[in-house]
Amino acid sequence: MIPQATERHKGYGIETFYTFIRYAIETLNITRFVVKIGLQNLPSINLFTKKLQFLEIEKSEVFQETTMERRVDNDFIEFLHSKTPNYEIDSYENLIINKTI
């Protein structure tokens, strides 16, 4: 999804991404993440290398893409916890029961 220009650069996307990654680790027991990004997509490459510390493991000149990975370790888990302090999982039933109309 590409938000309206007025809603960009407010941190919603990265916060959602941190939450998704944390869920994948804690609930799905994912221990390694791999991404493939086009070499021309510098914003995405910077996001994964600078904010998430992914490392390049392969570069394809033929397909014009880079493959990066991030293994889950304690430092990464602590980092995600610091970025998602309000993270919690609740059951669907509790959401319906607690909903106010």
Kindly state the average pLDDT of the residues 76-92.
90
As a whole number of angstroms, the distance between CA 36 and CA 30 comes to: 17
Residue 43: inside a domain: yes
The number of distinct structural domains making up the chain is 1
User: Mean of the pLDDT values across residues 3-23?
Assistant: 82
With respect to residue 79, please indicate whether it lies within any of the assigned structural domains: yes
Contacts of 49 (CB under 8 A, 6+ apart): 55, 56, 68
pLDDT for the residue 99: 59
CA 7 from centre of chain: 19
The residue range of the domain holding 52 is 11-97
Residue with tokens 């570069």: 59
Residue 27, domain CATH: 3.40.630.30
State pLDDT tens for residues 31-51. Answer: 999 999 999 999 899 999 999
**Mean pLDDT calculated for residue range 60-66:** 96
* The two three-digit tokens of residue 6, written as one number: 């007025």
Beta bridge partners of 66: 37, 59
Confidence (pLDDT) at 48: 94
Report the pLDDT value the prediction gives residue 13, as an integer from 0 to 100.
83
User: Does residue 56 lie within any of the structural domains?
Assistant: yes
